[in-house]
Amino acid sequence: MATAGKVIKCKAAVAWEAGKPLSIEEVEVAPPQAMEVRLKILYTALCHTDVYFWEAKGQTPVFPRIFGHEAGGIVESVGEGVTELSPGDHVLPVFTGECGDCRHCLSEESNLCDLLRINTDRGAMIGDGQTRFTARGGQPVYHFLGTSTFSEYTVVHVGCVAKIHPAAPLDKVCVLSCGISTGFGATVNVAKPPKGCTVAIFGLGAVGLAAMEGARISGASRIIGVDLNPAKFELAKKFGCTDFVNPKDYDKPVQQVIIEMTNGGVDRSVECTGNAAAMISAFECVHDGWGVAVLVGVAGKDAAFKTHPTNFLNERTLRGTFFGNYKPRTDLPGVVEMYMNKELELEKFITHSVPFSEINTAFDLMLSGESLRCIIRMED
């Protein structure tokens, strides 16, 4: 492309300080360096993780910053050493990576790349420690999760870019680069519910509903949704929910309620809240002998998980997962194909859509609990 090797001026939504509305303004995006790719972002979505760090609740607040990490776009240019991607390729940038060379990448059992695993503190590129964004007056603007998709152009390490089928609609599959894959993969890759089994899903936000979608596709005969908001049951039915349990409706632990409902416990459970008490309930509600509980939610730094060792002795299994155990570059193209083959439904996750100029509306919708996923159209 004519812009290859040159600085690109474009619009980006810059967060200048915590909790304040993003400002749409012109930034300069430097060319990609070795093992980097510059992307033209066409669609991006807002994830709760963006909001969490925008509110400066994360470990190390870094501002000014360009947030955004769920997106779909096209390769504009590539840096030295990049052979897997070419200008024009349709891609999903991902907040975690796959270098292809470390022990984790070479293992079939892990997606925790030594080089490119998620780093919420880093605000610059891993190659040289510099940012590729500058704003007015030449001020550096920092990256977020190595993606920074709230910009018309962004620079990403090649290991954090999944090449997908060019016919896949980017305004739909962009949601697969974070939350939906995290929840869906937790069920199908980690919990692996047998057909006809019972499954409990704790937390019915976007990630929990994606986990529920995984249970539905797997052929679970009974799917129990657990949430403190009763209004979520109606929506959850679209994802296969057959029963709804609100812990506030009972004067006994929710795990006991579920055990009584299911003649001894569910076969599988997936926890998507990040609340330590919910994690314990998710584990203790699975059936002895074969029950598997999978923890997806991210707990607070001081949280503790406490359960009696007998629960393990009685052959209950507790599993953890990160990004649904998907290797970004290797596995995401296949998840996109599932959508294209109508095996996986994405439209029901997308509740709103706004032009880039109204990106702050997406934050309002998420903060009010009105949206699951709001698509931000970069070219409108």
- Please tell me the distance from the alpha carbon of residue 226 to that of residue 263, in angstroms, as a whole number: 17
From 3, 28, 102, 351, the catalytic residue:
102
> In the numeric block, which tokens belong to residue 120?
């919420």
Beta bridge partners of 199: 223, 268
Strand order in the sheet with 317-320: 243-245, 222-226, 198-202, 268-271, 292-295, 317-320
Query: Catalytic: 117?
Result: yes
From 117, 132, 222, 268, the catalytic residue:
117
Torsion sign, CA atoms 213, 215, 219, 223: negative
From 96, 113, 213, 273, the catalytic residue:
113
Query: Catalytic: 102?
Result: yes
Query: Catalytic: 113?
Result: yes
- Please tell me the distance from the alpha carbon of residue 47 to that of residue 236, in angstroms, as a whole number: 19
From 44, 47, 132, 154, the catalytic residue:
47
Query: Catalytic: 3?
Result: no
Query: Catalytic: 268?
Result: no
From 99, 197, 241, 285, the catalytic residue:
99
From 69, 90, 104, 132, the catalytic residue:
69
Between the CA of residue 254 and those of 15, 210, 329, what are the distances in Å?
Answer: 40, 22, 39
Beta bridge partners of 244: 225
Query: Catalytic: 99?
Result: yes
From 174, 178, 241, 272, the catalytic residue:
178
Query: Catalytic: 69?
Result: yes
Q: Give the β-pairing of 90-93 and 161-163.
A: antiparallel
Taking Cα atoms as reference points, which of 150, 196, 127, 78 lies closest to residue 375?
150
Query: Catalytic: 105?
Result: yes
From 44, 49, 131, 187, the catalytic residue:
49
From 3, 28, 48, 122, the catalytic residue:
48
Query: Catalytic: 48?
Result: yes
Query: Catalytic: 10?
Result: no
From 36, 44, 90, 105, the catalytic residue:
105
Taking Cα atoms as reference points, which of 288, 238, 233, 237 lies closest to residue 265?
288
- Which residues are known to be catalytic? 47-49, 69-70, 99, 102, 105, 113, 117, 178, 373
